[in-house]
Amino acid sequence: IHAQIKNRRLNHLHQFSTRLVKENALIVVGNVSSSKLAKTKMAKSVLDAGWYTLKTQLDYKSKAMQAVFLEVNESYTTQTCSYCGCISSNSPKGRAGLGIREWTCPECGAMHDRDVNAAKNILAAGHCRLAGGIPAL
């Protein structure tokens, strides 16, 4: 049964990564460390997600299809306002802030969903890297 689950997970990751690369010329991901997160209380969900496998597949499929794949530092992407760039004291921080799903920037008043805001900041970091010609990690 474990082999069947593994095969289904790999098949899903292959289909998902292929679709992402076909539909996007630029793919930017954060440098999530699966091995570090595997040592936390979130270990089971982290390992089940197959992040490392997905990043590996995105990397080699991007090269094969002439898409750009970048891995950027995702530090403070959840806490930084994607509109004004302010790092707020009331934004979610670390594992303790995982329960905070939404927050408001005190500088510009923008309302943020934690994950959407982080995704916007990761994409912006990828655009900056491309514009500056900085090589991938």
Residues 6 and 51 in one domain: yes
Confidence (pTM): 0.76
Give the domain extent around 136.
Answer: 75-137
The answer to whether 80 and 68 have CB atoms below 8 angstroms apart is no
pLDDT at 21: 96
Residues 58 and 105 in one domain: no
Residues 33 and 45 in one domain: yes
Which of 72, 87, 113 marks a domain boundary?
Answer: 72
Structural domain tally of the chain?
Answer: 2
Q: What is the rounded distance in angstroms from the CA atom of residue 120 to the CA atom of residue 105? A: 15
pLDDT in single tens digits along all 137 residues of the chain: 888 988 898 999 999 999 999 999 999 998 876 655 555 555 555 555 677 888 999 999 999 999 999 999 988 888 899 999 888 776 666 555 567 788 888 889 899 998 899 999 999 999 988 887 655 54
Residues 68 and 81 in one domain: no
pLDDT at 72: 92
